[in-house]
Amino acid sequence: MQQSFDLYFVSSNKHKYLEAKTILDSFGIRLGFLKLSLEEIQSDSIKIIAIKKAKNAFSKCNKSLIIEDDGLFINSLDGFPGPYSSFVFQTIGNKGILNLLDTKRNAKFVSLITYCDKKTIKSFEGKIDGTISKKIKGKGWGYDPIFVPKNSTKTFAEIKNKNELSHRYKALKKFASWYLRK
Ligand code: IMP
């Protein structure tokens, strides 16, 4: 029997989808996956990137959907890598980030979830403060092995409850409360 979904997560990143699915399941929203690599304009504003990307995704699949844009913002580097997080991860990676830092290690992760259907386009933001660890710790994806959320001594890659406190969780919680009343 074919499974039916309420809406789709359009991304090329399965890790993000699996986390988003677990989170939205807990709000009773069934999330499908459409693996699509979307063109991303370069801009200093995550919001501008997100709106363009969501419209582009909707024009390709014509289904109610969400897309997600994230960034890791490091205070002592004036918010770098921010909107360039994906490129920076693919080039210098976690080791490169660690090499750029000294004692000042405060950072935040930001997630912007953008919903798009025929009539509506709307974004929801979630943030989590933390620090960058001194070493790579744990076996998570992306920046998880170097991001230590506030009030923890372990990285996102080492903790079990990332999906109950992450930037993604906070953005999706706001989205779910709007979507369920829509
Ligand atoms: P983008 O929104 O797909 O461009 O993601 C930005 C970058 O941040 C990518 O390199 C992701 O791997 C990374 N990233 C986004 N969210 C997370 C997360 O929850 N954990 C670890 N890395 C993340």
Domains in the chain, CATH or no CATH each: 7-181 (3.90.950.10)
Cβ 69 vs Cβ 48: under 8 Å? no
Tell how far the Cα of 111 is from the centroid of ligand 1, in angstroms.
9
Q: Which of 15, 17, 80, 85 to mutate to test the pocket of ligand 1 (most atoms within 8 A of CB)?
A: 85
Instruction: Judge if the beta carbon of residue 86 lies within 6 A of ligand 1.
Output: yes
Identify which of 48, 128, 143, 168 to mutate to test ligand 1's pocket (most ligand atoms within 8 A of the CB): 143
Looking at every residue in the chain, the average pLDDT score rounds to 94
Q: How confident is the model at residue 43 (pLDDT cuts 50, 70, 90)?
A: confident
Of ligand 1's atoms, which has the minimum distance to the CA of residue 167? 19
Residue 95: C-alpha distances to residues 9, 135, 143 (Å): 30, 8, 10
Q: How far apart are CA 127 and CA 80, in angstroms?
A: 16
Mean pLDDT score, 9-36: 96
Please state, as a whole number, how many other Cβ atoms lie within 10 Å of the Cβ of residue 15. 12
Question: Does the structure show a pLDDT above 60 at 2?
Answer: no
Strand partners, 147: 132
- Ligand 1 atom showing the smallest separation from residue 40 Cα: 4
Q: What is the position in ligand 1's atom list of the atom closest to the CA of 168?
A: 19
Give me the mean pLDDT over the 140-156 stretch.
Answer: 97
| pTM for this model (two decimals) | 0.94
Position 83 confidence tier, pLDDT thresholds 50, 70, 90: confident
Higher pLDDT, 40 or 107: 107
**What is the pLDDT, as a whole number, of residue 182?**
86
Tell me which residue has its CA closest to atom 6 in ligand 1.
86
In the reported structure, the alpha carbon of residue 16 is separated from the centroid of ligand 1 by a whole-number distance in angstroms of 8
Q: Which amino acid residue places its CA nearest to atom 9 of ligand 1? A: 86
CA of 13 relative to ligand 1 center, distance in Å: 9
Terminal Cα-to-Cα distance of the chain (whole angstroms) = 28
